[in-house]
Structure 1
Amino acid sequence: MSSNTRDDVLNHWFLLSIVAFILYNIRVAVYNLYFHPLAKYPGPLLARISPWVNFYHATTGKRPFWIWQCHQVYGETFRYHPNGVFINSPTAFRDVFNSKANTRKTQWYHGMALEPKSLNTLCVTDKQAHARKRRILNSAFSDKAIHSAEKYILRHVDRWNELTLEGDGKDWGAPRDFAEWVDSLVLDILGDLAFGRSLETKEPQDNPLKAVPHGISQSLKFINPVLHSPFLGAWLWLHPRGLKYLLDRLRSQASKSYRNFVMESLFRRIKEEEELQALEEENKRKDMIHYLLQAKDPETGVAAYSSSELLSETVLLVVAGSDTTAIILSALFFSLSRSERIYNKLVREIRSTFKFVDEIRSGTTLYACQYLRACVDEAMRFSPTGGSEMPREAGPGGVTVNGEFSPEGTRLSIGIWSLFRNDEVYGDPHVYRPERWIADEKAGVTEDDVARAKSAFFPFSLGSYNCAGKNLAILEILVTVARTLYRMDAQSIARQHSRRVQAGIRLGAKGQEDLRIHGRLSSC
């Protein structure tokens, strides 16, 4: 065969391949638009045809805001993916996430795992396996465990306050990036509660562990687009077949430092646990890792976690126990600095309720601080830690959500940022207004208003998959805010968006919220 003939054949097959590719995509587009079970739902044209639109918005870091915009245009339910819908409804949230719902986790969760075969409590998709892991995790967050952890939380908050005041506290201190400053407190608390040691990142001296929060942020920023990629299935298949090695080499230095911190902290804690075996049980330090190490398989009696599973569970504890709590605290201080009225009202409640700072601890008095809790709840609504969604898909036989039937395999998503900014529920969702959580006729807030606000409020999710550490997180936030505002006053300097508040829209975004601190200026 001459070279010209070969070239003609190759050109012929090349053209046929292009035509076949075009025809295939036209066929897929026509099916998705007119014959797919979700064809009746509105949504961006290209998003209804192809998954690439959803992936693109994940790469921008602004996907939660895009979801909210789509709800403004297309209504309560819109199609964001050929096989998926977003529903902005409290009823839909309960239909999808209640314990008896005929829904299941998607492979999105496997993409979050360090190892596809070593899934932690968040990432495991099998319901029975999740129940076993969750029972173990619950022991680390029991009322008894939280009570024993409180003294460490208070110690760190007191030291953090001492460092925050600078000197005698009689003058306004230098502007401080409060988002990063909160990171240091929360990470030190996490170190004590999870690994039995303070990481000392709030102390003034140099400490490589101060970069850990940035490493967490970088890791989440990297993995987020992958989770929404059309090639997630291929990613999961390739991960144990060489992709993991390549990714480890490409990982940023901050991300590597974070991973090394988790591994070194865990292995050090395992060694300490082995050395403490001879002690009586009541004399052992029962931190979070202690409960994981002591857990046994009820059927075999061997350790419940392999080394890789233990590492995966530890990563979950670090992210959930530090980054999410820091986001809420930063959002709260950010919002207080923007409203003198709210700030003064909260300070009056705290300083009139407690005579001494040592009284601020878990108990009926702290939990009776109605406005303090309202400020915390409003911060969680205003800057939710989840950002976009925790996706589910319809189980065998399909499921009815919000009065609409979805066949098996349909992706069902509720955007947390959008739900917490639902105009029909909150009226003025873009305003930080703690009063919406307290029934008060004089303020024009009825019991029905509060009930409606609570009906759409799921900061720790719902059902058997809710956050195991929610009570510990709330205690940590309440005592931090109450002790800080009891001791000192804050003054806002910068008018830029806080990194932590922006994190609800743009995952890992950087910014600055500068506050100046002064020792307590007034009694109320």
Structure 2
Amino acid sequence: MSLLSILLDPFLGPLIAFGIIAVAHGVPFFVDRFGYRKDGIPGPFLAKLSDFWLARQAARGNRSEAVHEEHKKHGSFVRIAPNHISISDPDALQVIYAHGNGTLKTEFYDAFVSIRRGLFNTRDRAEHTRKRKVISHIFSPKNVQDFEPNIRSAMAKLFLQLDKIVSAPEGTRSYLGTNYFRKKNNRAFLDILPWFNYVAFDIIGDLVFGEPFGMIDAARDMAAVAKGGDQSGAEVTYIPAIRILNERGDFSATLGTIPPWARPYVKKLPWFQKGDKACQNLAGLAIAAVNRRLNNPTDRVDLLTRLQQGKDDNGQPLGKEELTAEALTQLIAGSDTTSNSSCAIIYYLARSPRALSKLQKELDEALGESTEIPWFEQLKKLPYLEACINEALRLHSTSSLGLPRTVPAGGLTVCGKFFPEGAILSVPSYTLHRREDVWGNDAEEYRPERWLEIDQNMLQKAFNPFSFGPRACVGRNLASMELLVIIASFVRKYDVVLEYPRDQLETREGFLRKPLGCAVGLKQRQ
């Protein structure tokens, strides 16, 4: 009986396949190379044997909640994959992600590579240092303030569109672009999430590629991609960039939990094929936009200009392919994070009328009769505004999952436990932000006042919306300025309530945590 006939046999074939899978997963479990079984580190039984448990949670879009439930059952240390320990202790954050500890990003990040490795997904320490040196100066506080007019321009366009909706006659049921709204009891009821998506994409398109995508004006999810690399006369097509970005996040975050040897086979499955196509479309968007910009030089000051001006220690600028990869990174990081966070902040403020009223009072007193869209300098020292934003980022950290790191040679001791070289560790922000010993017994509630009460040293240890250490979000200054201007101008202009006050904020998690919608009622403030 030939080997092929054995494998194709309806009884022996599946039996042999099952045996191979059992041996492949069982042997590492009993060998216990990293001592997890010996140390008794708890976790779902399937997670101890296979990466399937974590991949399943990622594909379902609830990875952070699932890991959080395991931490609630088992404590600070949970085994979420055969070689992956999740540690929810604030002290672990300072050790695993700190400068100079030698930990490296894992193969998880290979699933996010498109065009070529960028600052986010490069795993080589020296290459990351080179890239960060070229890029980090772009996001210095001084440089970031040069970008404020772009943010203000997008907000002005948003208000023009929302004012059309808010001023519609009572009883109106209609669409603006692709966005449904209805007017009832002197309020316009609509889903605010798409509008924050349009704002975030238009801002980052303006900053990275030299012009907005035009989503606010069109009131729809669309971005132009020129076929043929944006050569003169090339046909232009439009893609739903927001939807594609969401599909790409789901795909990459799930693929990253699967062993590298299995990824080429998994990508042949229909769901993964769709995600892979989304990655290609998003890369095409960046390639076309960068080509368009390089073919039409300008003296405007924006992110792409700064990227072009950056040089490494040898005085070398970024090559075209590397420049495009970094532009794509900024598009992804600068759009989804801002829109997700803005939506979540407005949701929590609308759900807490007392906090909203208190914030509006602070803004009214600080800004007086100044312009409709306040300046960053007017906002950056308002304590309750900052508290409202931070409290929403605590409950809805757009990056909630534990970012995996590999322990270097010599091992690493974390919270009293020693982990040998090659062990994979992470700290889940979702769980860290809900620890009652840090945030109090009301840790699940939205209460901005806690930020004016809690010891600031503890906050530095337990608040992690932008990650920590040398791989922390390089665009944090820009993100902070955007949120201050967007939230302050929005709540100062509109009175906002939830259409369905008892609703929870429904989310889905790819790499980032995204609201699925936020139905609100708006009216102009008197």
From the CA coordinates, give the structure whose radius of gyration is larger. 1
Distance (Å, rounded) in 2 between the aligned partners of 1:361 and 1:421: 33
Q: 1:324 aligns with which of 319, 323, 337?
A: 337
Q: Which residue is equivalent to 1:270?
A: 294
Cα displacement (A) at 1:161: 1.9
**Within 5 A, what are the aligned runs for 1:50-449?**
50-115=50-115, 118-166=116-164, 169=167, 172-204=186-218, 208-209=222-223, 211-230=240-259, 232-235=260-263, 250-251=274-275, 257-273=281-297, 276=298, 284-299=299-314, 301-307=315-321, 309-358=322-371, 360-363=374-377, 365-427=378-440, 428-439=442-453, 447-448=454-455
Q: Give yes or no for contact 2:108–2:257 (8 Å, CA) kept in 1.
A: yes
Cα pair distance change 1:421/1:112, threshold 3 Å: same
Q: Give yes or no for contact 1:166–1:173 (8 Å, CA) kept in 2.
A: no
Stretch deviating more after TM superposition (415-424 or 329-338): 415-424
Cα pair distance change 1:497/1:224, threshold 3 Å: farther
Cα displacement (A) at 1:455: 2.5
Distance (Å, rounded) in 2 between the aligned partners of 1:106 and 1:507: 18
Structure 2 letter corresponding to 1:320? A
Structure 1 letter corresponding to 2:286? V
Cα displacement (A) at 1:360: 2.0
Cα displacement (A) at 1:486: 1.9
Q: Which residue is equivalent to 1:280?
A: none
Provide the secondary structure at the position in 2 that maps to 1:360: coil
Cα displacement (A) at 1:255: 5.9
Stretch deviating more after TM superposition (172-181 or 399-408): 172-181
Distance (Å, rounded) in 1 between the aligned partners of 2:421 and 2:466: 26
Provide the secondary structure at the position in 1 that maps to 2:114: coil
Cα displacement (A) at 1:503: 3.6
Cα displacement (A) at 1:488: 2.2
Cα displacement (A) at 1:225: 1.1
Structure 2 letter corresponding to 1:519? Q
Cα pair distance change 1:249/1:460, threshold 3 Å: closer
Cα displacement (A) at 1:71: 0.3
Q: Give yes or no for contact 1:170–1:518 (8 Å, CA) kept in 2.
A: no
Distance (Å, rounded) in 2 between the aligned partners of 1:142 and 1:34: 41
Structure 1 letter corresponding to 2:53? V
Q: Give yes or no for contact 1:47–1:79 (8 Å, CA) kept in 2.
A: yes
Provide the secondary structure at the position in 2 that maps to 1:405: strand
Per-residue CA distance 1:58-112 (angstroms, 9 max, x = gap): 2221111110000011111111122221100110011011112231111111221
Provide the secondary structure at the position in 1 that maps to 2:397: coil
Cα pair distance change 1:161/1:411, threshold 3 Å: same
Q: Larger % of helix: which?
A: 1
Distance (Å, rounded) in 2 between the aligned partners of 1:111 and 1:199: 27
Distance (Å, rounded) in 1 between the aligned partners of 2:8 and 2:248: 45
Cα pair distance change 1:356/1:34, threshold 3 Å: closer
Cα displacement (A) at 1:498: 6.8
Q: Give yes or no for contact 1:387–1:503 (8 Å, CA) kept in 2.
A: no
User: Does residue 468 of the first structure (1) align with residue 496 of the second (2)?
Assistant: no
Q: Larger % of strand: which?
A: 2
Distance (Å, rounded) in 2 between the aligned partners of 1:7 and 1:324: 53
Q: Which residue is equivalent to 2:182?
A: none
Cα pair distance change 1:257/1:304, threshold 3 Å: closer
Cα displacement (A) at 1:325: 0.9
Distance (Å, rounded) in 2 between the aligned partners of 1:10 and 1:372: 66
- Identity, in percent, stands at 26
RMSD value, Cα: 3.3
Distance (Å, rounded) in 2 between the aligned partners of 1:133 and 1:159: 35
TM-score, structure 2 as length reference: 0.84
Q: Give yes or no for contact 1:374–1:434 (8 Å, CA) kept in 2.
A: yes
Q: Which residue is equivalent to 1:46?
A: 46
Per-residue CA distance 1:335-364 (angstroms, 9 max, x = gap): 11111111111111111111134282122x
Provide the secondary structure at the position in 1 that maps to 2:148: helix
